[in-house]
């Protein structure tokens, strides 16, 4: 019987099998949507604990190596921390999947990787007939769970058209922005704008508090005025003023995104004064706060820096 997964794809695949490498905060809920749609998923993660969470789910097979995960799959999705890890998974001499990839297999890098490095990965893969799409996401863990992620795609038109129905199982707002690397470029720039807004908001409410004002009341004014942004709307009350600091997106990953954007801007020699300052603040916060802390703890860092 044809499964919903392959039917939704709208193109001929030799199997329904998707390899999925990187089953962390984002990868695990994304895989659950593929499984619910009837896709067979071969998953791999360095952490046995995350594989355990998916073990026993219908259509899921936990693999011992990345090469085992990609064997017999048409598409391999990467949801990994950064380009260093992506390149290790692709090209490592002893373990890299490039050694076992076949012509016409498709790699989709859905993590927030470096756009220039993604362009190079796409070129190297193309040399062996393998297709590459970058499809990073925005919306965080909540929208990964709801399958309403924004997905920014880069790649050739035909390959993007092929994988789009698969990506629609995990996201709602899909944009094809250009050739390979375009999705990663827009993702880095988006997170830079978000990160700069977060720092500005935290600085503003910290100053307001020092002036004797109620930070919650101040944030509510921002939300009905021109200072409104993603942080004022979704993060200040829920994750910062509550002291919870548990949005599900780590400060280390946000610093990486700001660095990717700052390097991208520098490389293109376009104006980037604010991106340099922003990177400096996120770097100092990462150095000073405990490892693995949530990105909303930037609020705590700035409060403690007074």
Least distance (Å) from ligand NAD to the CB of residue 226? 26
Residues 6+ apart with CB under 8 A from 153: 133, 134, 135, 160, 164, 167, 174, 175, 176, 177, 182, 183
Q: Which of 19, 23, 202, 240 binds ligand NAD (CB under 6 A)?
A: 23
Cα–Cα distance for residue pair 216/231, rounded to 1 Å: 13
Structure tokens at 65: 């190596």
- Should residue 38 be labelled a site residue for ligand NAD when binding is judged by CB under 6 A? no
Least distance (Å) from ligand NAD to the CB of residue 262? 15
List 131, 162, 187, 235, catalytic entry = 187
Least distance (Å) from ligand NAD to the CB of residue 180? 17
Residues 6+ apart with CB under 8 A from 79: 20, 21, 22, 23, 24, 26, 27, 30, 110, 111
Number of residues that bind ligand NAD (CB under 6 A): 27
Residues 6+ apart with CB under 8 A from 29: 141, 144, 145
- Should residue 150 be labelled a site residue for ligand NAD when binding is judged by CB under 6 A? no
- Should residue 298 be labelled a site residue for ligand NAD when binding is judged by CB under 6 A? no
- Should residue 24 be labelled a site residue for ligand NAD when binding is judged by CB under 6 A? yes
- Should residue 272 be labelled a site residue for ligand NAD when binding is judged by CB under 6 A? no
Judge contact between 282 and 258, C-beta under 8 A.
Answer: yes
Crossing angle (nearest 10°) for helices 115-127 and 83-91: 10
- Should residue 43 be labelled a site residue for ligand NAD when binding is judged by CB under 6 A? no
Q: Nearest to residue 28, comparing CAs of 16, 41, 37, 15? A: 41
Structure tokens at 122: 């796409």
- Should residue 189 be labelled a site residue for ligand NAD when binding is judged by CB under 6 A? no
Stretch that binds ligand NAD, among 115-123, 228-236, 247-255, 277-285 (CB under 6 A): 247-255
- Should residue 21 be labelled a site residue for ligand NAD when binding is judged by CB under 6 A? yes
Q: Which of residues 65-124 bind ligand NAD (CB under 6 A)?
A: 79-81, 85, 88-89, 111-112
Q: Which of 14, 15, 47, 305 binds ligand NAD (CB under 6 A)?
A: 47
Number of neighbouring beta carbons within 10 Å of residue 279: 21
- Should residue 46 be labelled a site residue for ligand NAD when binding is judged by CB under 6 A? yes
**Between 214 and 243, how does the x/- string for binding to ligand NAD read (CB under 6 A)?**
------------------------------
Assess whether 162 carries a catalytic annotation.
Answer: no
Residues labelled catalytic: 187
Contacts with ligand NAD, residue ranges (CB under 6 A): 21-27, 44-47, 50, 79-81, 85, 88-89, 111-112, 137-138, 140-141, 248-249, 253
């Amino acid at each position: 019987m044809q499964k919903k997964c392959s039917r939704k794809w709208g193109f001929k695949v030799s199997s329904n099998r998707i390899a999925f490498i990187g089953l962390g905060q984002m990868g695990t809920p994304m895989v659950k949507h593929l499984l619910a749609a009837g896709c067979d998923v071969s998953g791999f993660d360095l952490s046995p604990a995350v594989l355990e969470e998916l073990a026993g789910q219908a259509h899921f097979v936990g693999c011992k190596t990345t090469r085992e995960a990609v064997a017999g799959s048409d598409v391999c999705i990467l949801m990994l921390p950064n380009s260093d890890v992506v390149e290790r998974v692709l090209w490592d001499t002893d373990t890299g999947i490039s050694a076992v990839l076949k012509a016409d297999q498709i790699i989709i890098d859905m993590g927030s990787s470096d756009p220039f490095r993604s362009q190079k990965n796409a070129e190297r893969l193309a040399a062996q007939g393998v297709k590459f799409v970058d499809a990073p996401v925005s919306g965080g863990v909540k929208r990964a769970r709801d399958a309403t992620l924004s997905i920014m795609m880069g790649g050739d038109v035909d390959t993007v058209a092929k994988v789009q129905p698969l990506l629609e199982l995990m996201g709602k707002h899909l944009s094809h922005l250009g050739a390979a690397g375009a999705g990663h470029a827009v993702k880095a720039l988006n997170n830079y704008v978000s990160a700069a807004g977060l720092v500005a908001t935290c600085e503003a409410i910290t100053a307001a508090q020092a002036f004797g004002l109620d930070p919650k009341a101040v944030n509510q004014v921002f939300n009905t005025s021109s200072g409104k942004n993603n942080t004022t709307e979704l993060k200040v009350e829920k994750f910062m003023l509550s002291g919870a600091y548990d949005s599900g997106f780590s400060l280390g990953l946000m610093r990486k995104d700001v660095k990717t954007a700052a390097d991208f801007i520098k490389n293109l020699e376009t104006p980037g004064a604010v991106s340099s300052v922003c990177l400096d603040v996120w770097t100092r916060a990462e150095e000073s706060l405990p490892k693995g802390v949530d990105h909303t703890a930037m609020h705590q860092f700035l409060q403690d820096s007074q």
